[in-house]
Chain A
Amino acid sequence: MTGNALLQIALYLAVLLGLAWPLGAYMARVYAGRPCGLDRLLGPVERCLYRLCGLDADREMDWKAYVASLMAFTGFSILLLYLQQRLQAVLPLNPDGLAAVAPDLALNTAVSFSTNTNWQAYGGETTMSYLTQMLGLTSHNFLSAAAGMAVLAALIRGLSRRETQNLGNFWKDLTRSTLYVLLPLSVVLALLLVWQGVPQTFQGAATATLLEPTDYDSPVKDASGAPVLDAAGKAQTEPATMTEQTIARGPVASQVAIKQLGTNGGGFFNVNSAHPFENPTPLSNFLELLSILLLPAALCITFGIMVADRRQGAAVLAAMAVIFVVLLGACVVAEQAGNPALTRLGADQAAAEGARAQAGGNMEGKEVRFGIAGSTLWATATTAASNGSVNAMHDSFTPLGGLVPMLLMQLGEVVFGGVGSGLYGMLVFAVVAVFVAGLMVGRTPEYLGKKIEPFEMKMASLVILIPPFLVLMATAWAVLVPSAKAAVANPGIHGFSEILYAFSSMANNNGSAFAGLSANAPFYDLVGAACMFLGRFWLAVPVLAIAGSLGAKRIVPQGPGTLPTHTPLFVGLLVAVVLVVGALTFIPALALGPVAEHLAMIGR
């Protein structure tokens, strides 16, 4: 690891934690309904929204009403987004004349964006019209994130209140998350990104005359537009020359801002934040990186304030940070070490400073302006959070460098995790941790003064076991289906890693990919949509059930046998539970994929 890499990582963590504190305190005011400053400006808008929708925002809901609201909202989201894509050809704001999206792909995308996954089986600039990108995708980046924050707010109220069925009002939490948190942050970030060079325009693609006319092999197509194959079954090509470059652009900055902040990750362009228009400079990279973890980290602080014990929030945040830093270190070292096969070809992979500076390391699929430090920091952050945006191609990472993002998703997206969903997942792990500690000393476990009983443990087990079950079953199914196996781009062991990564990503609502996999095929579109839906709602529903059950309990006074949950001991226990559950579940699969490939790479 180079000195500059250490410096960039240290700066990143310092700014992240420095901003998480005030933002977390601000959000605690937002969810407690107290004055937060922005309500003077946006309060009328908020009240107008409630009036338009005929809502009594002060009516509190029990956990079942909360679930019903969440499901009704998501049901309509999926339906509307599906229809928008199917009808985009006849709707306005389609300057490049894109056709309607195919049914299986439209369903996959609708579920993907409504569940905060933002798995993208399509190439943005060639598939989605400006209207679909804005009114469909940008808006769901806000709303799916806000829904996750609302569920978290309900869980925290369940933990902090006593002897009540009331968990708050879903519509109020949804609206306030959007209006007071996501929207203002997005406006600021989008303007900063435009300043750095991200386009924001409704004009169609620009055409530039190339400095050098360039020859390329153009595929031969028959009258119907299908590619012509030669005797060996490969696509025939003919020499052609291009003199112009078509430069796709659009309202990019507004979408990039919220896809980073809302742990969404669905980019405007096919290659996401590796595209120079989504992420033009090292500074834009730093700002986007910061946005990935900002809200998940700040929500830990919010949690601490709302349960009236800031140490509790700090302990959860510390557990997340410990796992993050350790895995980040592994990823940086693996990528900076580079690919031994390239060294044998005479490539210079050593990092160098001074006049002849270069980043060195494994640069396949990475951009020069980010180098190794900027790319690995991103890969780790985007999979620690359930963001899933990329600024380098994870498929081309070294085997161990690619193992890190895969493992972070498989841990259940609780190391920071999604906006809202990450912390509610981690709090479920905290419940399991106190349960394990209770077993060791033979006492009834408690968390924040609430007794943890069989009902909570059953629900917590569901939350922890469903995503691994989905990942492993779907992967096993895919390697048995010939058409699904044929979708891999890389031969051998790496092909298995591509499939494992795909379902780790979808079932945990991450959305990043080993993108060589041709994921726009009916098998992946439909099985993936099912995984994303179950991975989101089979977790949100048990979490709300826990919230309802805990909220109804009374607070047990602390005794000498109570396990304090703000100490380094508890942080260690929490980290151990997360790692042990993840490791026991996934080590066999990881051994078949990245670990085997690493041994093959260094053994040759």
Chain B
Amino acid sequence: MFSEALRQCRPAFLMLVVLTLLTGGAYPVVMTGLAGLLFPDQAGGSLVEKNGQVVGSALIGQPFAEAAHFQGRPSATAPKPYDASASSGSNLGPTNPDFLDAAAGRAAALRRDNGDGPVPVELVTASGSGLDPHISPAAAYYQVPRVARATGLDPAVVRDLVARHVAGRQLGVLGESRVNVLALNLALDALAGQERK
């Protein structure tokens, strides 16, 4: 079998080189060309601009802590939250005391700002990527009274804004209903700016 292996070395090496160039060279290069031609916006990362300045990607979450903004999910990227150059989950197990302490701290802070009441679970748990751009409709409506108070907007107006930003299940079946926090806050800022004028 050893001499057979030696005999197969030449085709093995040549096949590896040729197939590598085809699947690792030609394939991604052609796909990049096609993607740029057919879907230029998505291919570049779905960047969002405001006044000519890139303010984020429509697909990537950002950290929000101010009372006048809707808050996204806790992010486990370290040391910077929502670090889109080093994605990471917490990887904490369900019985880990560190995880339970962190969740208790988040729940207490949310209660302080938003009043007593059950807290939607995804606001006390870190996302898988650390970059989750979404919260559930439940978590968005939960924050409406606080946001309305901090921005001075009518709660009904804010609730209406949230309702317009809810994306339902795709094709009515797939995934979950969700709200893009960056898009919601950009719209909120625009609305609050108009009111002030």
Contact = CB atoms under 8 A, between A and B. Distances in A.
A491 B136 contact: no
A534 interface: no
A211 B44 contact: no
B151 to A, nearest CB: 14
B66 interface: yes
A129 to B, nearest CB: 13
Contacts of B189: 211
Contacts of B163: 355
Contact of B178 (A198, A368, A492): A368
A270 B86 contact: yes
Nearest to B66: A212
A174 B15 contact: yes
Contact of B11 (A55, A269, A274): A55
A390 B22 CA distance: 27
A184 to B, nearest CB: 11
Interface string A46-87: 000100111100000000110111011101110010000000
A358 interface: yes
Contacts of B73: 368
Interface string B83-109: 111111111111111011001100100
A322 interface: no
Given A53-B15, A139-B23, A341-B100, A245 B93 contact: no
B1 A67 contact: yes
Contact of A126 (B44, B61, B85): B85
Which of A8, A125, A178, A198 gathers the greatest number of chain B CB atoms within 10 Å?
A198
A396 interface: yes
A579 to B, nearest CB: 26
B24 A139 contact: yes
Interface string A190-203: 11001111111111
A479 B141 CA distance: 47
B47 interface: yes
Contact residue range for chain A? Answer: 35 or more
Contacts of A71: 5
B45 A247 contact: yes
Given A68-B8, A206-B54, A190 B31 contact: yes
Interface string B149-188: 0000000000000010000011101111110001001100
Nearest to A339: B94
Interface string B32-47: 1011101100111111
A217 interface: yes
A237 interface: yes
Given A7-B173, A73-B15, A175-B15, 11 more contacts: A76-B12, A134-B28, A191-B34, A214-B65, A245-B62, A274-B129, A283-B171, A356-B141, A363-B121, A396-B91, A399-B95
Ranked 4 nearest A-B pairs via Cβ: A282-B175, A139-B24, A516-B91, A274-B128
Interface of B: 1, 4-5, 7-16, 18-25, 27-28, 31-32, 34-36, 38-39, 42-48, 53-66, 69, 73, 79-97, 99-100, 103-104, 107, 111, 118-122, 124-139, 141, 163, 169-171, 173-178, 182, 185-186, 189
Interface of A: 4, 7-8, 11, 49, 52-55, 64-65, 67-69, 71-73, 75-77, 80, 123, 125-126, 134-136, 138-143, 171, 174-175, 178, 182-183, 186-187, 190-191, 194-203, 205-212, 214, 216-219, 237, 242, 245-249, 251, 253-255, 258, 269-271, 274-277, 280-283, 285-286, 338-339, 341-342, 345-349, 352, 355-371, 374-375, 390-393, 395-399, 489-494, 497, 514-516, 597, 600-601
10 contacts: A65-B8, A68-B7, A73-B12, A187-B27, A211-B56, A341-B100, A357-B177, A359-B176, A366-B128, A515-B89
